[in-house]
Structure 1
Amino acid sequence: MKTDELVALLAAQAEPVPRHAASRRLATALALGLPVAVGVMAIEYGVRRDLMQTLFWPMFWVKLVFPACVAIAGFVIVQRLARPGVRVHRAWLGVAVPLLLVWAIGLASWLASAPEDRSAMVWGQTWRSCVFNIALITLPMFITSLAALKSLAPTQPAAAGAAAGLMSAGAGAAVYALHCPELAAPFLGIWYVLGMALPAVAGALVGYRLLRW
């Protein structure tokens, strides 16, 4: 068979990709992993007993909305990176802006507090376990999102893996917030950020090998 004939044969069998296929697959991956993540949190750590009371505390909503915004931004980024030729443009600002806001709130509250209270605002009670707890809760969504990416066509595998890690970690950190007793902004700005950065780095490393064509 000649090259021209082979190209014509392949072109004749080509079908258009359904619109929003990448978004649907990644959303399905999150929908499959999220209930498992909630189950891990509830069984392994437990929901805060005073959760209804904390709903009236502004810092609880900061702790919940901050990682949720990272998850949304990560979703926007990864569904773009999952398609060849689609640029991310300024979507990374969706990660940077909430991060900078939390750091600004944390620095302002740290400077406004008494010197003897500053150490507790940074270290809290759970700094030793927070990062790894977030990573563990993130794991189900991390696995499903990478599996979804594997079925798509990312041309930047490391960046796509990192974005999938960020998306999963943002959702995982938001789930962990339903258990976490910490409310100090400096704690969130350090340990929650590290907890979300760990899956992002892992996603870049795994994605570089797993998602290559």
Structure 2
Amino acid sequence: MKTDDFIAMLADGPRAPSRSAVVGRLGSGVAFSVVAALLLLAFVVPGGIPVHSLITRLAMTMFWLKVALPLSITIAAACIASRLSQPGVRVGRAWHALLTPFMAVWLVALATLFTAPADARSALILGHTWRTCSLHIALLSAPALFVLLRAMRSLAPTRPELAGAATGLLAGAIGALVYCLRCPEMEVPFWATWYLLGMTAPTLAGALLGRRMMRW
């Protein structure tokens, strides 16, 4: 191959996505994922959105603390996924932003269990809906996982498994965030167990699918 032809091939080859392209594609994917999860919650999950009890919970501080958990993970995971979608961009301190809500909820959960009577600890962890909570979160995250993986694939991730895991965690956090509208549980040990477990399934699925879908 001649030098001029090689230079022309490099100039015309695929380029890293711009920041606006990353924000646009992932932002659209997140917006669609939230809407899809809301529709699933309203029309597929048994019980739907309990409007009357939700209005009551909106006045509770613990409800907003519960919302803060998946919301903070959603923001951090979106930041990490956006950086992993661009070659040569370091994740950096975004890892700290992701670890902070996990560590905070675990520390509060452990402190709550430590100070609670021994015969009340299992109830704090299991609540009333432990059998279905994680399953519902995984279900609500399914459309988000599909849409966000396609969005990431259209960008330029160079670490497929890690990018897929971050995308799956983002999908799981969106599912958990929407599920807060349905969930009646107000105990931190419950969230630390079943909410995080529900986010784990799409995270693992994202890592496995990312290995294939995002390979160059």
Q: Distance in 1 between matches of 2:77 and 2:115?
A: 32
1:47 is aligned to 49
1:145 is aligned to 148
Relative to structure 2, which stretch is displaced further, 168-177 or 4-13? 4-13
The amino acid that maps onto 1:90 is R
Task: Give the aligned length.
Answer: 212
2:4 is aligned to 5
The amino acid that maps onto 1:188 is W
Structure 2: unaligned runs, 5 residues or longer: none
Pairing 1:119-198 to 2, within 5 Å after superposition? 119-198=122-201
Deviations 1:131-164 (A, max 9, x none): 1110100111111100001111100000000001
CA contact (8 A) 2:16 2:155 kept: no
TM-score (norm 2): 0.92
Q: Considering only aligned residues, what root-mean-square deviation do their CA atoms show, in Å?
A: 1.6
User: Alpha-carbon deviation of 1:7?
Assistant: 2.2
TM-score (norm 1): 0.93
Deviations 1:67-94 (A, max 9, x none): 0100110000000000111111121112
Q: Distance in 1 between matches of 2:70 and 2:123?
A: 22
Deviations 1:167-198 (A, max 9, x none): 11111101001001111110100110111111
The amino acid that maps onto 2:4 is E
CA contact (8 A) 2:16 2:156 kept: no
Q: Distance in 2 between matches of 1:162 and 1:16?
A: 21
Deviations 1:43-88 (A, max 9, x none): 1231133111111222211211100100110000000000111111
Pairing 1:35-114 to 2, within 5 Å after superposition? 35-45=35-45, 46-48=48-50, 49-114=52-117
- CA change 1:153–1:96 in 2 (3 A) is same
Q: Distance in 1 between matches of 2:103 and 2:66?
A: 14
- CA change 1:59–1:18 in 2 (3 A) is same
Structure 1: unaligned runs, 5 residues or longer: none
Moved over 3 A (4+): 11-19
CA contact (8 A) 1:157 1:211 kept: yes
The amino acid that maps onto 2:49 is V
- CA change 1:50–1:21 in 2 (3 A) is same
Instruction: Check if 1:26 corresponds to 2:29.
Output: no
1:92 aligns to what SS in structure 2?
A: helix
